[in-house]
Amino acid sequence: MKLKLYADRMSQPVRAVIIFCKKNGIDFEEIRVDIAKRQNLTPEYAEINPMKQLPAIVDGRFKLFESHAILVYLASSFPGVADHWYPADVFKRSKIHSVLDWHHSNLRRGPTTIVRNTVLAPVLGRPLNPEAAAEGEKFLSASLSKIESVWLKGNGRFLLGGNQPSIADLSLVCDIMQLELLGETERNRLLGPYKEVQQWIENTRNATNPHFDEVHKILMKAKEKLQNPRMKGATNEGGGSDMKRTLHSRI
């Protein structure tokens, strides 16, 4: 029976899991759960993930949620996943756990908070919240600094000095990609000082393309709409209310 993946591609942990599956030839059925249509809050979805969040998987009789746990499970259970994604060596593996745990309390609190409280707020009909955005920016800057001074230390092209990506690279990079929604200028202001981070994002993208770009298409479309609100009526997808609905349905 094919792996079922419950997904909304506007979610960064969802994208990390999809890219991982595609890159590693894991056959899966993508089941769209539209967050803004509150499909994640239905009793049906609560049967899959009682925490009502995305992503979640069902593999035969086995259900699992939390993207890091899913990535570890997939790397451990599916044949043909190269060792570098989640090495069997206990020392290398432990370092990857350390990055993933660190991610939760640091980087993860940056991009989403900024995006939600700035560019997305008006679209979602919520007030701008500069204080929350500033708090998110603090987490982001501190995290990017640490990524450069700690995790990207060494000569490798990936975290922990690796020459090939691990599940940690994919998870963290997908998170940072959320900043695309802010538009070129703002994204460059935030990422500009972090040249090594920028190179690492590019390395991770190259190592997982064409899947990386394909899975991020939805984000780029949303970005265009947010940056060119006057074009909203000119797109094939319809007028302003449609744009709001589309974006609202994804974040």
Q: Footprint of its own copies on this chain (CB under 8 A)?
A: 50-51, 62, 64-69, 72-73, 76-77, 90-91, 93-95, 97-98, 100-102, 104-105, 108, 146, 149-150
Rounded to a whole number of angstroms, the minimum distance from the CB of residue 109 to its own copies is 9
Nearer residue to its own copies within complex by CB, 66 or 242? 66
- Write the secondary structure of the chain as one string of H (helix), E (strand) and C (coil): CCEEEEECCCCHHHHHHHHHHHHCCCCEEEEECCCCCCHHHCHHHHHHCCCCCCCEEEECCEEEECHHHHHHHHHHHCCCCCHHHCCCCHHHHHHHHHHHHHHHHCHHHCHHHHHHHCCHHHHCCCCCCHHHHHHHHHHHHHHHHHHHHHHCCCCCCCHHHCCCCCHHHHHHHHHHHHHHHHCHHHHHHHHCCCHHHHHHHHHHHHHHCCHHHHHHHHHHHHHHHHHCHHHHHHCCCCCHHHHHHHHHCCC
Q: Which is nearer to its own copies, 51 or 128 (CB)?
A: 51
Give the nearest distance from C-beta 246 to its own copies in angstroms: 27
Residue closer to its own copies (CB basis): 64 or 218 = 64
Q: Output the smallest distance, CB 163 to its own copies, in A.
A: 20
Residue 191 C-beta: closest distance to its own copies, Å: 21
CB of 214 to its own copies, least distance (A): 26
Q: Which is nearer to its own copies, 8 or 59 (CB)?
A: 59
Nearer to its own copies, 104 or 189 (CB): 104
